[in-house]
Structure 1
């Protein structure tokens, strides 16, 4: 398992390079799901997925879980979008009765990380999969987690579940998803967490150059690979859903708002109106986390204002994206 220490003795994240650019910490628990020796066994009811509705990395795993019908196979625990005011970065189960997860019996996510690995010194992150038999965190590799749900968890997919990760397209999906991760998903964080003007402007230019390319791509395609939704669409959606509500102001990604990209805006609404996407999107949680919580400067005391917009009803307005496709079913069989 790969591990990179990301905290100083004072509990302050150390994910900033010497040039002021942001470098996300490496995931600690990366054992894949599968049937081979040493892999995590795929068993119904054995695992609990911990997420936060504000987090884009966690959100995409919950979208795929819902779309594929894995709700009964993998239980779900939810942490608050507001960071607890502690001397460390953590997540809290304050939304649950008595402030503890009803299955794990813990108040803070760090408890399960430290129980699993007492030497753990990074940020406890979501999503994370907890093995209920062992009482340990076993998977927090958000980059590959949806792929495991799409491939290794097939025996527990609902009837007629869509194929979000078709084998004949995986190479192309992986290549595009990698670009989306570095330049868009993590690109907004590179803008928001930059500690130098040069690092911020470089990340800003990369982000908007990529959004311009995606805007062009979606001018003739309903989804990234044509008529049907794939895993790449899930990954892009979670950033787009947070763009105007959070990133434009909180992360200074302010060249354009999403609504000024006609194709991306229509595409995002098309996905939002698809079961599994909009019904797992919580704009209030997103705004509370990015605008009221302890995110970028945990020790900075300042007045914090919760933005009034965006209006969620705008996401249900007609998008007319179906005109780009003759297919009624949005999912690839």
Structure 2
């Protein structure tokens, strides 16, 4: 195997490259949707050492993939590297802060997209699951990536994130988590009228109240074991008080005011797979000036190391 030349992109330069904007491509936002198979068939069979994950510490969807990889014990099966936390018009890039691309020596992640589809003009997103053998992207469709990591590579047999008998319920809850938590901040922030804004934010708060009640008598969303739903919910919760809520002005109450949800979030944070794949220092955002009819929310940094006392549930 030839030695990889490690390259770094030049520093972020908004004056030269501008802010990142998705390209003009028509069609799916996440166009690469290959799936891993565990029976040796298909274009992308599960093979140790064949695949690599590109992720970003600041991206909640990429963080999910890193967490699942750790939960399933796949560190020696699927390799992983990080893009830089900041980006300009070139998109995600590799810089010294997070390290070089150890697989291809790319300076920017766009190069992986262009290697897969020459002339690619679309959204350069993370996570990306890369096939070393084929020299191409398997998938940048984040929901599929965590499901495949959790179910196709074997790994820890005691960790079943997507139990067969619970899949319809998990899928249904995941749809609501995506609508009312994962994408809620953007929807609330995008509201242009006072009525639209309050309707959007109340839908989010009502769902958080529902989750808080659900977690009163169960440790995780589906009982005593972590599932795909917990992995999808948690990266947004960890950003709620430092980024999403003060930026979008969703709720007068911080996460810490939802007692069961807050204890549950701490419980997950203190699990090695979540803790080791979380960099709290890069999650905060600066609140913007906004309309006076939006609720006033100040950023806060909760103590994630407080005892959660949920092990007996």
TM-score range relative to shorter protein: 0.7 to 0.9
Structure 1 residues 220 and 11, CA gap change in structure 2 (3 angstroms): closer
Q: Is 1:81 matched with 2:81?
A: no
Give the drift of 1:189: 2.6
Partner of 1:95: 96
Give the drift of 1:119: 4.0
Partners in 1 of 2:280 and 2:236 — Cα distance? 12
Partner of 2:105: 105
Query: Structure 1: which 4+ aligned runs deviate by more than 6 Å?
Result: none
Q: Is the 8 A contact 2:205 2:251 kept in 1?
A: no
Q: Is the 8 A contact 1:163 1:230 kept in 2?
A: yes
Partner of 2:67: 63
Corresponding residue SS for 2:304: helix
Q: How many residues align?
A: 282
Equivalent positions of 1:114-133 (< 5 A) are: 114-133=114-133
Alignment equivalent of 1:196, drawn from 169, 192, 199: 192
Q: Is 1:31 matched with 2:20?
A: no
Partners in 1 of 2:212 and 2:299 — Cα distance? 27
Partners in 1 of 2:188 and 2:122 — Cα distance? 21
Q: Is 1:310 matched with 2:301?
A: yes
Alignment equivalent of 1:239, drawn from 236, 239, 258: 236
Equivalent positions of 1:243-254 (< 5 A) are: 243-254=240-251
TM-score (norm: length of structure 2): 0.82
Give the drift of 1:206: 2.2
Equivalent positions of 1:1-333 (< 5 A) are: 12-13=21-22, 26-34=29-37, 35=39, 38-83=42-87, 85-86=88-89, 88=90, 90-95=91-96, 100-154=100-154, 157-158=155-156, 160-192=157-189, 194=190, 196-197=192-193, 200-287=197-284, 290-291=285-286, 310=301, 314-323=303-312, 325=313
Partners in 1 of 2:82 and 2:20 — Cα distance? 24
Give the drift of 1:269: 0.4
Q: Is the 8 A contact 1:237 1:268 kept in 2?
A: yes
**Runs (5+) with no aligned partner, structure 2:** 1-18, 289-297
Structure 1 residues 44 and 36, CA gap change in structure 2 (3 angstroms): closer
Corresponding residue SS for 1:61: helix
Partner of 2:8: none
Give the drift of 1:315: 0.9
Partners in 2 of 1:14 and 1:249 — Cα distance? 29
Corresponding residue SS for 1:203: helix
Partners in 2 of 1:14 and 1:209 — Cα distance? 35
Q: Is the 8 A contact 2:129 2:145 kept in 1?
A: no
Partners in 2 of 1:291 and 1:92 — Cα distance? 22
Give the drift of 1:251: 2.8
Partners in 2 of 1:119 and 1:190 — Cα distance? 32
Corresponding residue SS for 2:238: helix
TM-score (norm: length of structure 1): 0.77
Partner of 2:295: none
